[in-house]
């Protein structure tokens, strides 16, 4: 069986190295992207099984990419794990405020993991979503 592909969209080098290693050593095939544009392009090219997305990249890259994913017919069903340094509650509030301003509300991510992520917690979340 082919390994599941995981797209990692993360602007910080340290975090990319850690996530790549964690995915590789758990039997997944990681693909790396450094920003939202690159991430969205790669998502279209490789159709990953799951996306790990840092939401707090500079210039709102994370949220914009998430919106693009959720409004794209071919990509909307790919599960997304949101990574962020802010608490989940704060993030949810942020999204709520964002939804008020825009036409189509965006659905919540499949999972939300606070940064820095604990490898075991993160891998459990991913395992559940891919099961």
Where along the sequence are the contacts to other proteins (CB under 8 A)?
11-12, 14-15, 17-18, 21-22, 25, 58-59, 85, 115-119
* Residue with Cβ nearer other proteins (17 or 47): 17
Smaller CB separation from other proteins, 76 or 93? 93
What is the per-residue burial (b if ≥16 Cβ within 10 Å, else e) of 3-36? eebbbbbbbeeebbebbbebbeebebebbbbbbb
CA 82 from centre of chain: 5
Residue 26 CB, nearest distance to other proteins (Å)?
10
Least distance to other proteins, CB of residue 34, Å: 12
CB nearer other proteins, residue 62 or residue 117: 117
Specify whether the backbone of 83 is left (phi greater than 0), alpha (psi in -120 to 50) or beta.
beta
């Amino acid at each position: 069986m082919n390994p599941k592909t995981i797209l990692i969209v993360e602007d910080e080098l340290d975090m990319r190295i850690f996530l790549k290693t964690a995915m590789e050593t758990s039997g997944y095939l990681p693909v790396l992207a450094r920003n939202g544009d690159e991430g969205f392009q790669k998502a279209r090219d490789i159709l990953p099984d799951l996306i790990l997305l840092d939401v707090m990249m500079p210039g709102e890259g994370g949220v914009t990419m998430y919106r693009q994913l959720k409004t794209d017919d071919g990509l909307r069903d790919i599960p997304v794990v949101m990574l962020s340094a802010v608490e989940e509650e704060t993030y949810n509030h942020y999204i709520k405020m964002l939804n008020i301003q825009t036409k189509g509300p965006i659905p919540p991510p499949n999972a939300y993991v606070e940064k820095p992520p604990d490898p075991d917690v993160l891998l459990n979340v991913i395992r559940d979503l891919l099961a």
